[in-house]
Structure 1
Amino acid sequence: MSSLEHLLPTNWKKQVASWLDEDTPTFDYGGFVVGDEEKVAYLFGKANGVLAGVPFFNEVFNQIGCKVEWYLKEGDEFEPGPTGRLKVAKVTGPARKLLLGERPALNMLARASGIATRARALLKLKQEHKWDGLIAATRKTTPGFRIVEKYASLVGGVDPHRMDLSSMIMLKDNHIWATGSITNAVKQARSVGGFALKIEVECRSEAEADEAILAGADIIMLDNFDGPGIHACAANLKSKWAGKHRFLIEGSGGLTLENAAPFMSREVDILSFGCITQGVPHIDFSLKVDH
C-alpha cells in the first residue's frame, strides 16, 4: 500500500514528543548507565500481525537522534516463523537514546499493529462473503491516542468513520430524548450543520428509520438488530423509499469478527465495529541491542 503519512496533521509530531516527555519527566537514570556509545538494535515481531504505526515509530527515534531502517513495509502481514521472532527493522544510535525511545515506540507499535490486524481480518471476512459494503471503525478510541488508532484502521484497510464530533453529525438516543423526537433533532442539526455535514440517526426500529428518512437524515444507523432483522428492515426501507429519498444504511451494535457475517446484506451499506479499537489484542514486539 502507498504511504499514509501525508494524511497526518501538522501537530502529530508534538504528540510523539509528549510520549517521550511522559516517559522521562526528570532524569534518565538507565541512560546514564549505558552512555552514548553508538549501537545497533533490532526490532523483532513476535506474533502474527499487520505492521502499522511506522511514521510514529520513526518520529520517536528521529526526535532523539536515532535512525530507523525497515525490512517490511507498513501494511505488510508478517509471521514470526519457527524462531518465534522476525526481524522487522534496525535502529541505530547512541545506546542511551535507543533505550530512551524503546518503550514509547514499542507501546505505540504494538497497539497500532493490533488494530490494523483486527481491521485486516474484518476486511478479509467481507471479501470472503463478497459483500460490497464498508467496514468502518467508530469513535470508541483512547483519549489522546485517537490519531494513531484511526491511522491504524486505515492501514488495516477499513474506513475510519468520523474522526470526531466535528466531522459528521451523529444523533443517538440521548440527542433524540433531549429534543423530544427524531424530527426535532434532525431539524436542529441541519440548522447549524448546513449542507456540508452529513447527518446520521441511530434508529431502533423501522418506524424510527422512516421518521429519520422523512426528516432528511443522510445515514440511517440500525442499532442492535440481529442479522435477519437488519436484512429485512434494510430491504423494506430501500424498497419503500426508492426514488424518493437517498440515504445509506449502517449496521452497528456489538458486531465482532465472529458474528458479523450474517449482517453482510446487500441492502446494508456500512457495518461499524467498536471492536476494531476496543479490546483488541496487541501485537508483541521487542527491541534488542545487538551485542
Structure 2
Amino acid sequence: MMFNGYNESLAENIQAWLREDVGSGDITTMTTIPQGHESKAIIHAKEGGVVAGMPGAELVFQIVDKCLTFKAHVQDGQRVEKGDILAEVEGSTHRILTGERLALNLLQRLSGIATKTNAFVSALEGLSTRLVDTRKTTPGHRMLEKYAVRVGGGANHRFGLYDAVMIKDNHIKGAGGITEAVSRARNNIPHTMKIEVETESLDQVEEALTAGADIIMLDNMDPVMMAEAVQRIKIVSPHVITEASGNVTLDTVREIAQSGVDVISVGRLTYSFDSLDISLDLNAKKGGGAS
C-alpha cells in the first residue's frame, strides 16, 4: 500500500508504539467518556505543506480498532493549505482517542519531511541535479523518513551500510589512502555494486579518479573548487557520478547545483525539519451508556 512491502513491519512497529503510549489503558478517556460513545473525528491541516503518511495514519486506526472507518480526503504528495481536511475517522470515541496521538505523530513528522524536501526540490527547478537524502535518520524510522523524502519529490541515497560502498575520511585513514581503499573494496564486492569516495580537495578528486571510483562526493567544497572538480571529472571520466554534500541549505542549494554536480545529498531533510501542524478534532455523533 505505502512502503513497498514494508507494511507488515510497519504494523508490528505501530503495535509496539501503541503499547508504549497506551500501556494498560487510556486512563483519561476511560474515566471521562462513557463506554459506547461514538464520534466522527476530523483530521485537518493548521498550516500549508505537502502531506505524507496518510496510509500510515489509517493503519494506526485499523490496528486500534478494525471497526473504525477512515476516509482520506487527500493523498500523499498532495499540497494542502491551512484549514484543509485531510481525513475523517468515525466510530468508537475511546478508540479514536487511543490512536490519535500516534497517527498524528506519523502524519506530522512525515509531512514535515515531505514539505522540506519539496522546498529544496523547488529551489532546483529547471536544473537536472537530483536531490537525495542521507542515513541521518531517526533510529527505527528510516524507511518511513526516506519514503517521505520521495513523497516530497526527492530521491533516496543508500539505505544502510550494506547496499553500497561509501569510502569516507575515516575509511581512507584506516586503509592508508584512497587508492588502497578503492582497490580493497573492488576486490571484495560484487561487480554490480558501486563505489563512492568522499573527497575534500582537488588532489583527492584526482586520486579517486585514478583509483576508479564510480561516484565522487565533493564534500564541503566552495562553489569555485566544486565547479573545477566537476569539470575535471567530466573530462577524464564522463561516466563518473558527482555528488555534492556538506552544509547544504535552501539558500545555497541552487548555487551548488549550478556547479554541474549530478546529485546533492542533504542530511537536514530528515534530521532538521519542522513537523507540519496537523490536528484532530471530534464532532460528537451520539452518546453511549454510563462508563
TM-score over 0.5 for the alignment? yes
Alignment of structure 1 residues 114-133 onto 2, 5 Å: 114-127=112-125, 130-133=126-129
Distance 2:36 2:162 in 1: 46
Give the Cα separation in 1 of the matches to 2:4 and 2:90: 25
Report whether the alignment pairs 1:60 with 2:60: yes
Q: CA-to-partner distance for each residue in 1:127-148, whole Å, 9 max, x for gaps?
A: 1xx2112111111100011111
Corresponding position of 1:254: 247
Q: 1:46 to 1:207 in 2, by over 3 A?
A: same
- Change beyond 3 A, Cα 1:50–1:206: same
Where does 1:42-61 land on structure 2 (aligned, <5 Å)? 42-61=42-61
Tell me the C-alpha RMSD between the 2 structures.
1.6
Deviation at 1:71, TM superposition (A): 1.1
The partner residue of 2:13 within 2, 7, 15 is 15
1-structure distance, mates of 2:176, 2:8: 41
Give aligned pairs, total.
280
1:280 to 243, 268, 273: 273
Contact 1:114 1:283 in 2 (8 A): yes
Q: Aligned residue for 1:71?
A: 73
What is the CA-CA distance between 1:166 and the residue it aligns to? 1.0
Residue 93 of structure 1 deviates from its aligned partner by 2.1
Contact in 1 for aligned 2:133/2:266 (Cα 8 Å) = yes
Is the contact between residue 233 and residue 240 of structure 2 (CA under 8 Å) also seen in structure 1? Answer: no
Using the TM superposition, give the Cα deviation of residue 67 of structure 1 relative to its aligned residue in structure 2, in angstroms: 2.1
- C-alpha displacement of 1:190: 2.1
Distance in 2 between residues matched to 1:7 and 1:76, nearest whole Å: 22
Residues 210-221 of structure 1: matches in 2 within 5 Å? 210-221=206-217
CA apart distance, 1:231: 1.2
Structure 2 contact 219–244 (Cα < 8 Å) conserved? yes
Report which stretch shifted further, 5-14 or 196-205.
5-14
Aligned CA distance change for structure 1 residues 194 and 9 (closer, same or farther; 3 Å): farther
Distance 1:241 1:141, change over 3 A: same
Offset, 1:5: 4.0
Structure 1: distance between partners of 2:260 and 2:272: 29
Indicate conservation of the 8 Å contact 1:154/1:160, yes or no.
yes
Q: CA, structure 1 residues 70+161, in 2 after alignment: closer, same or farther (shift >3 Å)?
A: same
Q: Which amino acid aligns with 1:167?
A: D
CA distance in 1, matches of 2:233, 2:3: 40
- Return closer, same or farther for 1:29/1:54 CA change in 2, 3 Å cut-off: same
Mapped partners of 1:40, 1:9: distance in 2: 26
Partners of 1:106 and 1:119 in 2: CA distance: 20
The question of whether the paired residues in 2 share the 8 Å contact of 1:223 and 1:252 is answered with yes
Q: Deviation per CA, 1:68-90, whole angstroms, max 9, x where unpaired?
A: 1011111110111xxxx222110
TM-score for the superposition, normalised by structure 1: 0.91
Deviations 1:104-149 (A, max 9, x none): 111111110000001111111111xx21121111111000111110
Show structure 2 runs of 5+ residues with no match: 285-291
**1:188 and 2:181 correspond:** no
Q: Distance in 2 between the 1:151 and 1:241 partners? A: 32
Q: Are the structure 2 counterparts of residues 230 and 236 from structure 1 closer, same or farther at C-alpha, using a change threshold of 3 Å?
A: same
Shift of 1:256: 1.0
Provide the secondary structure at the position in 2 that maps to 1:234: helix
Matches within 5 A, 1:1-291: 4-6=2-4, 8=6, 10-33=8-31, 34=33, 35-65=35-65, 66-80=68-82, 85-127=83-125, 130-242=126-238, 246-265=239-258, 267-291=260-284
For 2:85, what is the secondary structure of its paired residue? strand
Q: Answer whether contact 1:131 1:266 (CA < 8 A) is retained.
A: no
Distance in 2 of aligned mates of 1:64 and 1:163:
30
When structure 1 is superposed on structure 2, of 95-104 and 211-220 the one drifting more is 211-220
Q: Measure the CA separation in 2 of the matches of 1:10 and 1:63.
A: 12
Structure 2: how far apart are the matches of 1:210 and 1:155?
36
Q: Is the 8 A contact 1:42 1:290 kept in 2?
A: yes
Which one-letter code corresponds to 1:78 in the other structure? Answer: V
Deviates more, 1:281-290 or 1:187-196: 187-196
In structure 2, what is the Cα distance between the partners aligned to 1:155 and 1:31? 35
User: Which of 159-168 and 18-27 deviates more?
Assistant: 18-27
Partners of 2:233 and 2:52 in 1: how far apart? 39
**Does the aligned pair in 2 maintain the 1:132–1:266 contact within 8 Å?**
no
DSSP-derived class of the 1:141 partner: coil
Query: Which one has more relative contact order, counting CA pairs under 8 Å at least 6 apart?
Result: 2
Query: Unpaired runs of 5+ in structure 1?
Result: none
